[in-house]
Every structure is written in C-alpha cells, then in structure tokens.
Chain A
Amino acid sequence: MSKTPSFVILLLPVLLLISSCNTNQSSNTAAQRQASTTATSTPIDPATVASVSGTIRFDGPVPAPKKIDMSQDPACTGSNQGEMLVVSNGNLANVLVYIKDGLGNRTFMPPSTPVIIDQRGCRYHPHVLAAMTGQTIQIRNDDATTHNIHPMPKHNREWNISETTSSPAIQQRFANQEIMMPMKCNLHPWMRMYINVVSNPFFAVTDSAGKYEINGLPPGTYTLAFVHEKLGELDQQITLAPKENKTVDEAFKSPNGD
C-alpha cells in the first residue's frame, strides 16, 4: 500500500513530461501545418473576394429515366433509375462547374474535412462528386450487402476495394486533377458515379434545381467550365471585379439535336 503513492509520485513527472511533449508535438504539428499552409497556399485577400453563381439549363426533350432491375441482389431494395440525365423543370443537375483556367501560379491546400460518398439502396449518393486534389474521400456502405468500389482514372492510380456492411469507411485521396472519372461497383453493374478531382478549391456541382455557387474567388479573368457526364463540356470566359457577385448561366443542348 505504501509503495503505491511513491510509485505514482515517481511516475508523475514522467507522465507530465510525456504529456507536455505530446502537447508540444501537437502544437508543433499544428504550427507546422499552419506554416506549411502559409508556405504552399497563395494568400487571398478576403476583403476583395468575389463569387459566381447561376443555373444550368437543358434544352431539348428529356428522355424518361431508365428503370434499373436490382433483382440480382435481394439486399438491393427499393426502386432505382438511371441518373445519366437528371432534369427538373428544364434545369440540369449533376453538372460540375469549376475554374479551369485563370488562377495563374496560385497554389491551394486541400481542405482537412473529407467529402463523403454513401452507398445506400445500391446506388451512390451523390451521383457526381467534386473534391480537391489530395482531399480525403470517405466512402461508406449503408447497404446490407457487399459493394466494391472501383474508380477508373486516367491520371491517377486505379484501385478496386471490397466493402462489406461491417467494413469501416474507406478513405482515399487522388493526387492529380481529373474530371468526370467514372467509378463503379462490379458487383452491381448499374452502380456508377463520377468523381471530379480539381486542383483548386473553386468548384461546385449543380443541385436538383440546376443551381451552383462558387465563393471566395480572387478578382480576375477566368475560364469557367461546365462539365456533364454525357453532354460534355462548355466553357465561358468571365471577369470578376473585387467583391462582385456574378451570375453566369449556361445551357446544354440535347446531343440528338432535338
């Protein structure tokens, strides 16, 4: 009994030292990260930043979405349909909008928060995802079946990983910019989505109302690209004055020329 207090007393300085070292280490790491961020990210004056927003339209007849037969796997319940062309009141969803050119030699650090892909109802949520180069992409499986996640990049490393219901979320990053990189599940051949990896943080994907918004842009002249998985790419030149909130709309035409 008498030995215990002396043991704790003896150990206390060591524990304090370790604790202090850990604290120093984490504060150093944070400082280093800050320094690194400062060193590699080009600073942007927050007082002058501008934004761009708009609506993407689809001109032409919209084919009825194709129903998906998921009877191959009894665990895939509910209804499912193709998401190749999602149009609501003429507004087009799932369009990537990003600054393609005009940022010069500016460099950017990826955000520390991950973007999430959820596999639910044997479909991907979202259907089109955008992340920054080096940003963590977290892939979850909320289905009562196994999926495999297989991106098919052209400029990044390819991988194919199985994810059961009990597996922890998969964490992956892509090092190089790549637009509309297909990703699919080979167990459920209808499961297909697109990942966009952008080398700057100025991007957005249109929502179900066809709307997008990109904030925090330094004033300047840019090429704004609009990319759709099937309809291809449209570009616009824009010039943003300091603090300007510009509206830039775009319209895709039916590929059949209807």
Chain B
Amino acid sequence: MKHGSRSSRQPLSGSTTLKAIETTYNPRHHRFAVILACWTFLLIVAGALVTSNDAGLSVPDWPTSFGSWYKIPKLVGGVKFEHTHRMIAQVAGLLTIILAIWTWKVDKRRWMRILGLVAVGTVVVQGVLGGLTVLFYLPPAVSSAHAAVAQTFFCIAVVMAMFTGRQWIEEHPCVEFDGRKPTLFTLTLLSILVLYVQLLLGAMFRHHGMSWWPHVLNAVVVSFVLAWTAIRALSIYSHIEAVRRPAILMLSLLITQLGLGFLAFQTRVEWGKDAVQPELPMVVSTVVHVAVGALLLATTVVLAIQVWRHVPVAFEERVPQAQRDASVA
C-alpha cells in the first residue's frame, strides 16, 4: 500500500478494528427497509411523471381526490398520473410509519430509532408540501421544495436500508485515517452540497421558477467536484470495498446523468419549445434524468457515510500554548 508523504492515514493495525455499535441483524427488518427504499424510488418516478405530463393539477383538490377520501377516480388523462402518484405516496407513508415502529421495537441503536422518527417527519412534511402545490396552483418554490424533500426522503430510506443491513451491523470496519487536505470526507460533503444545489436549480427550472442556464452551469461544478471525489476515493482507498463500490457507482451515475441531462435539454428546451402537448421523448428523458439524479444523490450520501466510517479525518492533537510551555517548564 502506498502512503502519500503528507498523509497521516495509517491502518490502526492489522488486527485493530472498531466496533462500537451493538445490535443484532434482523433480516426481515432490513428487507422491509429495502422495500421502503425501492418504493420511494418508484414514488419519485411517479412524481416525475406527474410533472413531465403537466398533470399536477388534474385532481383539483387535496387531501381529497374529487371530493372523496377513498374512491378511485376514472384514471384518464392527467388523473392517471396524479392519482397514481397520490396512492403510491400514501403507501410510502404507511410503510414509513411501520418501519419507524419496527425500528423502535427491534433496533437497539438510539440514533437509528431517531432516524425512523425523522423519516416519518420527512414523509409528513413531503405530503403537506404535495398538498400545498395543489392548493396554491404549483408555486415554483413549493413545487421545488417538494422535489428536494422527495430526494431527501429517498436518501433517508436508502441509509436506513444500509444501516439495517448485515454488512453494516456485523462488519468490523478497518479504519484508515485521512490527513490530506481537503479530506475525502470533506469532498463527499461538498459533493452532497453541490448535488443539492443542482437538485434545487433543476427543480426550479422544471417548475418554471428559473431559467435553464443556472442548472446547466452548476452541472460543470457538480462534474468537477464529484469527479475529484471519485478519483480521490478510487486512487487511494480502492482497497476498501465499502468506499470503492459507491465511488464507482457515483462516477458511473454522474456520466449517465450528464448524458441524460443533455438529452432532457434537447427534448424539452430545443425540440419541445413549440410542442402542443408533452411528447414521449421529453417525458422519458426528463423522468429518467430525475430518477438517476435521485440515485446519484443517494449514492453520494452512502459514499459519504462509508468514508466517515472507514476513512475518518485524522485530527492533529493540539495542545494549548500555555500547557505546552508549562510542560516544558
């Protein structure tokens, strides 16, 4: 293993491992968390279909649908997209509540229990934001917040699935300290930040609150930061599987997302400016762009957590000058 001259990263020792969390792996609980993450991904796709098909207000009321709490309306035109999205969202809410209760009962980790509650809070906020988009006729700020919270919730569902997994619970992570500047952990946090900005800019453009160019301009920043992060992770920590895999996935998704972004721009901005209705190439490219964007954000969050676990920041021990002088004396 090569060590950089400035790096203070060192395996604690071949046999030294960290294992601070004591909980048992519950396969059914984990599978349920995975189902919630997959269901949330489906929900994001359904939501993207609503926006791309301009169907956001096809059901004019909320929380009822055409005045009813339970009746399924005739699923034609935009109602097909909007009401399906609402039904998937209701199931997602229910699954989240079940997972939170289940986590509270079976998981010994206090922070994990709190995460379950945070997931419930997020899904409630998301539902209310969805309702506000209907009641206030899709104001760009609210619709964009709805899009951003959707992906935040997806990230929470994904990390809950990861935290309940066998590997997370049973592995004894081998830790290497990172003394480079900026640290890999800093880079992953920066990646999440620029992706969030990109998500908001994209959502604002998609919901007619902003022009397309800030989103396209920030794509350059996102590409640079994510490529830097991935290259750092893969060039130095590729031997750590938990870091290597999400780093490779992040890089692959970034490349895919750039291609999809170009396609979405062409179909919507260039070819679609005089469109008389939402056309299939535009719908497909924009929905896939949103879906891959969600996967990219979640993968980056996973990478950040794995880096935090396996490659923590090496803090230089700092002794106050007075103490240092005293000890010398």
Roughly how many angstroms separate A186 CA and B77 CA in the complex, as a whole number?
Answer: 8
Count of B interface residues, CB-CB < 8 Å: 21
B137→A190 contact, CB < 8 A: no
Shortest CB-to-CB span from B133 to chain A, Å, is 12
B238 lies within 8 A of chain A by Cβ:
no
Q: Which of B56, B66, B277 contacts A162 (CB 8 A)?
A: B66
Contact B274 A189 (CB under 8 A): no
Number of interface residues of A (CB under 8 A): 26
Q: How far is the CA of A75 from the CA of B75 in the complex (A)?
A: 12
Are the C-beta atoms of B276 and A74 separated by less than 8 Å?
no
Q: Does B54 contact A (CB under 8 A)?
A: yes
- Interface status of B74 (Cβ within 8 A of chain A): yes
Q: Does A73 contact B (CB under 8 A)?
A: yes
Contact yes or no, A187 B274, CB < 8 A:
no
Hey, what's the 0/1 contact readout for A53-97 against B, CB within 8 Å counting as 1? 000000000000010110011110000011010000000000000
- Give chain B residues whose Cβ lies under 8 Å from the Cβ of A150: 57, 60, 137
Query: In the complex, A71→B269 CA distance in Å?
Result: 25
Please tell me if the beta carbons of B55 and A186 are within 8 angstroms of each other in the complex: yes
Which residues of A lie under 8 Å from residue B277 when comparing CB positions?
68-69, 189-190
CB distance from B82 to the nearest CB of A (A): 8
Q: How far is the CB of B155 from chain A (nearest CB, A)?
A: 30
Measured between C-beta atoms, what is the minimum distance from B192 to chain A in Å? 34
Q: Assess the B54–A189 pair: CB atoms within 8 A.
A: yes
Is A161's beta carbon under 8 Å from chain B? yes
Is A138's CB within 8 Å of the partner chain B?
no
CB-nearest residue of chain B relative to A65?
B276
Interchain CB contact under 8 A, A187 and B76: yes
Cβ of A145 < 8 Å from any Cβ of B? Answer: yes
Residues of A contacting B78 in the complex (Cβ-Cβ under 8 angstroms):
186-189
A102-134 contact mask (Cβ, 8 Å, vs B): 1 or 0: 000000000000000000000000000000000
Q: Does B58 contact A (CB under 8 A)?
A: yes
A145 vs B276: C-alpha distance when bound (angstroms): 20
User: How many Å from the CB of B11 to the closest CB on chain A?
Assistant: 59
- Closest A residue to B52 by beta carbon equals A189
Nearest CB in chain A: distance from B32 CB, A: 35
List, in ascending order, chain A residues with CB within 8 A of B76's CB: 72-75, 145, 187
B54-81 to A contact mask, C-beta < 8 Å, 1/0: 1111101000001000000010111110
B300 within 8 A of A: no
One digit per residue, 1 when the CB lies within 8 angstroms of any chain B CB and 0 when it does not, for chain A 178-201 equals 000000101111101000000000
- B74 and A189 contacting across the interface, CB-CB below 8 Å: no
Contacts of B54 in A (CB 8 A): 184, 186, 189
Q: CB distance B57 to A186 under 8 Å?
A: yes
A66–B275 Cα distance when bound, in Å, is: 8
Query: Given the known A-B contacts A84-B274, A84-B276, A190-B276, are A160 and B60 also in contact in the complex, defined by CB atoms under 8 Å?
Result: yes
Chain A residues near B198 (CB, 8 Å)? Answer: none
A162-B137 contact given A187-B77, A187-B78, CB 8 Å threshold: no
Min C-beta distance of B274 to chain A, whole Å? 7
How far apart are the CA atoms of A189 and B60 in the complex, in Å? 14
- Assembled-state Cα–Cα distance A157/B56 (Å): 19
Q: B74: which A residues are within 8 A, CB to CB?
A: 146
Whether the pair B276, A187 counts as a contact (CB closer than 8 A) is no
Assess whether A187 is in contact with B79, with CB atoms less than 8 Å apart. yes
A159 CB, min distance to chain B CBs, angstroms: 8
* Distance between B271 CB and nearest chain A CB, rounded to angstroms: 12
Question: Chain B: which residue is nearest A151 at the CB level?
Answer: B137
Which of A72, A84, A161 is packed against the most chain B CB atoms within 10 Å? A72
Please give the distance in Å from A23's CB to the nearest CB on chain B. Answer: 41
Instruction: Tell me whether B53 is interfacial, beta carbon within 8 Å.
Output: yes
A188 and B66 in contact, given A68-B276, A158-B137 (Cβ under 8 angstroms):
no
Does any Cβ of A come within 8 Å of B278's Cβ?
Answer: yes
Q: Contact flags (1/0) for B122-140 with A, using CB distance below 8 Å?
A: 0000000000000001000
Rounded to whole Å, the gap between the CB of B63 and the closest CB of chain A is 16
Q: Which residue of chain A has its CB nearest to the CB of B277?
A: A190
Given contacts A75-B76, A160-B57, A187-B55, 11 further A-B contacts (CB under 8 A): A72-B76, A72-B80, A73-B77, A148-B60, A150-B57, A150-B137, A186-B56, A187-B58, A187-B76, A187-B77, A187-B78
Q: Hey, which bits of chain B sit against chain A, CB under 8 A? A: 53-58, 60, 66, 74, 76-80, 82, 137, 274-278
A/B interface sample: 12 pairs, CB < 8 A? A66-B275, A66-B276, A68-B276, A69-B277, A81-B276, A82-B276, A84-B276, A160-B60, A160-B137, A187-B76, A189-B55, A189-B277
Closest 3 CB pairs of A and B: A82-B276, A187-B77, A190-B277
